[in-house]
């Protein structure tokens, strides 16, 4: 059974002398959401879509290390131990509701809130996981910049893919079913589906592979 481990909020260290924010050797950066999304607003639709996809791929690639580190801590391991993600190779409801899987999902949701990535809620849906994100900073900033007519949460999709790969010990696919693209004042709510390769995806497009803006 997974053991209690310090949350990301407890682990983050503000090193004022060196001007850095650290979780072990992982360095974080505080940046206003509108500054980040303003970069994409400066681009034309085609290069904007390409840049957002690149952001998602980067988050997936580098976020995988964070997910593995969280899993080791939850399992009572150390930062230097060999990677050991929760085993959930079976895609039954029971597998994603195992104690280890629930602990990792809870830790990821808490980490997302700590870093200002919105409120994450995971739910098994029979063939994988459904992730609902309320108050995504990417969607909120994009709405303020007039980009509400297109998907922009590629960073969340990338981190969700890294998480799914750790859970299932296999490549995974993430698609966004409901993007926060409504008019100003409407609730910000994005829904993602996490699936292993080959499973049916009945909505959305893969954020890391889409070719249209």
Q: How many domains does the chain have?
A: 1
pLDDT at position 85 is 42
Q: What angle do CA 144, 146, 147 make, to 5 degrees?
A: 105
| Residue 57 belongs to some domain of the structure | yes
Tokens 């996490």 — which residue?
194
pLDDT at position 203 is 56
pLDDT band for 90, please (50, 70, 90 cuts).
very low
Choose among 165, 144, 174, 149: nearest CA to 53. Answer: 174
| Residue 211 belongs to some domain of the structure | no
**Residues 150-193 pLDDT 10s:** 789 999 999 999 999 988 888 888 988 877 666 667 778 899 99
| Residue 209 belongs to some domain of the structure | no
Close Cβ partners of 159 (under 8 Å, ≥ 6 residues apart): 59, 60, 63, 67, 108, 112, 117
| Residue 104 belongs to some domain of the structure | yes
| Residue 180 belongs to some domain of the structure | yes
| Residue 51 belongs to some domain of the structure | yes
Q: What per-residue string of b and e applies to 61-74 under the rule 16 or more CB within 10 Å gives b?
A: eebbebbbbbbbbb
pTM strictly above 0.85: no
| Residue 212 belongs to some domain of the structure | no
Q: 117 and 31 in contact (C-beta within 8 Å)?
A: no
| Residue 210 belongs to some domain of the structure | no
Q: Find residue 206's DSSP bridge partners.
A: 175
* Residue span of the structural domain in which 184 resides: 8-195
| Domain CATH for 173 | 3.30.1380
């Amino acid at each position: 059974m997974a053991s209690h481990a310090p949350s990301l909020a407890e682990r983050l260290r503000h090193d004022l002398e060196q001007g850095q924010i650290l979780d072990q050797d992982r360095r974080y950066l505080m940046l206003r959401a509108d500054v980040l999304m303003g970069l994409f607003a400066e681009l034309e639709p085609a290069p904007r879509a390409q840049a957002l996809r690149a952001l998602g791929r980067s988050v997936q690639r580098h976020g995988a290390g964070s997910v593995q580190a969280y899993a080791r801590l939850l399992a009572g391991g150390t930062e230097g131990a060999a990677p050991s993600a929760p085993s959930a190779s079976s895609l039954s409801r029971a597998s994603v509701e195992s104690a280890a899987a629930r602990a990792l999902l809870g830790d990821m949701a808490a980490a997302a809130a700590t870093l200002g990535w919105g409120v994450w809620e995971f739910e098994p849906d029979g063939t994988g996981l459904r992730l609902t994100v309320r108050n995504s900073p990417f969607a909120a900033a994009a709405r303020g910049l007039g980009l509400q007519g297109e998907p922009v949460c590629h960073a969340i999709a990338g981190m969700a893919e890294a998480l799914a790969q750790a859970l299932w010990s296999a490549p995974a696919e993430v698609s966004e079913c409901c993007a926060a693209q409504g008019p100003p004042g409407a609730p910000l709510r994005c829904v993602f589906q996490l699936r292993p390769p080959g499973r049916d995806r009945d909505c959305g497009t893969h954020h890391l592979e889409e070719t249209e803006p």
